[in-house]
Structure 1
Amino acid sequence: MSATPDWSAIRGDFPLLTREVNGKPLIYFDSANTSQKPEQVIAAVDDFYRHHNANVSRAVHTLGSEATEAYEGARGKLARFLNVRADELVLCSGTTFAMNLIAYSWALPKLKAGDTILLTRMEHHANIVPWQLVAERTGATIKVANLRPDGSLDLDALYAAMTPDVKLLGVAHVSNVLGTVNPVREICKEARKRGIVTVVDGSQAVPHMAVDIPAIGCDFYAFTGHKLCGPTGTGALWARKELLEAMPPFLGGGEMIKEVSFDGTVFNDVPRKFEAGTPNIAGFVGLGAAVDYLQAIGMDTIHARESELLAYATKVLSDIPGLRIIGTAPGKAAIISFVVEGAHAHDLATLLDIEGIAVRSGQHCAHPLLQSLGVSATCRASFAFYNTKDEIDRFAAALRKVRTLLA
């Protein structure tokens, strides 16, 4: 696609963006929660169910072969998208499943009393709770690296916390609340020097920028498909193949085996060793279509577009009296969490919804972060390439109106 795409035409690919909410044209500023889906993805899922629906890897008939080819084709597209090998990519329901897979198949057998799991203050619950469960069962402890006032990681403190007892580091590539983009390549390099296994949560990175996993140098990388213009219930875990081969299965059942007898089971090769049961076949067909769609635009082009929207929104919102933006790290992603003096976030979001504007309010599955910031909840406006500056202007006007109502 050209360096200056027709963003209006691209927006037209998203049918849901044409609807009205409460009699007003929808403004969807909740893409960090889940992205909208282009017609090409919807059509791919529809076509699978209409013309190719069958289970994968279990039948030699034509439909079974077509379904398997489409499912494995999606794995191949994702692998090329992230510059990794297809046999190192476990297809799963998303980041939460991926983190639990690491927790139960890698961390539980490996960690013991005296070991430490290092996390950052900005982590999503999916990169906190599994490690708490592991710590309870193994006697390991959790240590937390704090942030600077602008919402960026205090790297000196993080590296100082990488003591010999630390065996695993969990870090978000991009914060879902602050928009902070962490220097994961540098962080993983420092961890690797100390023999620390690294787990990167890429949920908010993969949809918005080019991601080259080998260049990052992590041990595990997880992401979710429904934020990537793909269907819900899709995602993947990438891991170094030697780690996957050494890890025991997380779930048992069909497809993750080569041979079963009552005397024992021979497990399948990775990554299928971790893919028990019938997968979300149509969902992954749709996710493959989403990858095709995003690559046709270009991830660098998408990143530039969203950076432009972020800069514009930051300027416009900063002019609203009583509004404070939470998270101002340089180079952040297109996420603006904010509070408005005298207004609770839930009340604000409800009144914005009356104006047809969808933002998220609450603690954004990041309770420890908001507690450390001293706020009970924020509103979060998260932008995608299909949004417009006109929507941002209407959003700002609605905020001024709502602020007056709540005053």
Structure 2
Amino acid sequence: MKKLRNVIICVLISIIIQSGLLYYMNAYMFKNITKVTYRIIKTEEKKKVLSISIPQDADKIQVSSTGKYVSYISNNALHVVQMSNGVDKKVQIDCDLSDVYAKWRVSEDVLVVIEKVDSGIKVYKCDPLTGEKQQALDFNNKGRTYDLTRSSSNVVQLQSNDLNTIMYIKEQTGSGASYIDRLDISEGITKMPLGITKVGDYYVFKAEDKVVLEDLADNKIMMATSDNSQTIEIPGVNNPKLLYVDGQGNLYVANVVNDKIVEIYTASLNNRANNSSSGQDSNFKASWNKITLKEPADPKYVYISDLGDIYAVDHLKGKAINIKNNKSVSFNNMYVTMYGDSEKGGIISRDVDNNKLIETPIK
């Protein structure tokens, strides 16, 4: 019994000594060694230049809002193709292609297809992954045929308010007259009270049911709703060119001299404090900011993103220059179009000799 007690005492003493030694080493000897510091490094994958094959006769090339898909017309057919892998889908069309208008939505990778049938139109949404289209449904979940306000006209342009089911369609008659009508998927098509027979470019104000457009006959810019219209005045600008309305409700209008843009004027359409009146054909007065271009630019080579990035494209040198920060992006071959913004955008160009479509990221 006495031997057992001595063994236990020895074991306890050993444990105490070892514990004390370990404590001393941890507290003093290894104090600076065991302290570990680390940091998390975030890496952002850089987008690569992509290239896909397209037919030599590809026409009316359009790119989706994200740049993931492209649509084009070839051999009397509408196609959608993935930029990542070149998978090409043919969209089934139920009428003559001359009676079809297609455009990508601004907020998502969906191709809107409008087909003319007799004196009306049908509206479809096309899934670019499959190439399949589905007719747009009203509030009763039914597909409808919408009667055009001018039965002999064709749809030549489409702009939509992506917060709802409202679209503004531009129609052109055989005589060359052009109009804008308002299409509500659930309620039908109604005439816009504009009194204009020669509409140029136009854009939808995304936060409200409102449209800004060019009156080519009187060389002016107008803003309209379903019940009134106003002229937008820019002091000192005699030859205005409508460029864009971005996602924040900012309007971009160019001052054109000798067919080239020399200045770009911007103003917010959200601020109506400076609007002197709201009656029919009244003037909309805003506080304008002016951006002077270093070099005059052709309107078709100026791109404005939904975030307000402004790019002047030098198609001869293969450069797109952000005029706000003077940063440039180089690209190869023939310029086609741009998409997105300075964070997630790109340039689409075309190698005509090798039948290639090329996507170059901005960032």
* TM-score computed with the length of structure 1 as normaliser: 0.23
Structure with bigger helix share is 1
Structure with bigger strand share is 2
Task: Flag the structure with more relative contact order, 1 or 2, with Cα contacts below 8 A and sequence separation at least 6.
Answer: 1
The structure that has the greater radius of gyration is 2
